[in-house]
Amino acid sequence: MYAHWRRAMQRLSDPILAGGVVFDGPRASLAGWLRKIGFVLVTDDEVGPAAAGTVPVVRQSSGSRGDHPPSWVRSSVDDAAARILDIGSAIERWEGESAAADSAHTGDAENRMEASP
């Protein structure tokens, strides 16, 4: 485990990455921390962070197209990066996408509760 950590720390010392990675200490509110970040990369079917005010960027997988709004799903790293850069370029755009993600997540939760016996 420590060897992996050391390799990661060596890679993060690259000047190209300077300022691009921040280590935060413990937080009382995960939702507040996620809002500060703004985006969350989703690699499975869990989209809970969307409810915290983040904008989800979902890695395309066999089930991701049907489980998530199509605008969240990205087919490649370049496509995901382009979406983040586009949305992150204007605060109004990010706020709109964040609100839409929160609304979609809340609606999904309500639909699941109504469908359960």
Mean pLDDT of the chain: 76
CA pair distance 78, 42, nearest whole angstrom: 15
pLDDT tens digits, 7-62: 888 888 888 877 777 777 777 877 777 777 788 877 765 656 566 778 888 887 75
pLDDT band, very low/low/confident/very high, at 82 (cuts 50, 70, 90) = very high
- Res 77 pLDDT > 60: yes
Residue 10 vs residue 110, higher pLDDT:
10
Cβ-based neighbours of 110, under 8 Å, separated by 6 or more: none
Domain boundaries, the chain: 23-115
Long-range contacts of 71-80 (CB under 8 A, 24+ apart): 72/42, 72/47, 72/101, 80/41
pLDDT of amino acid 79: 93
Q: What pLDDT sits at residue 90?
A: 87
Highest averaged pLDDT of the listed ranges 12-16, 26-30, 79-83, 107-111: 79-83
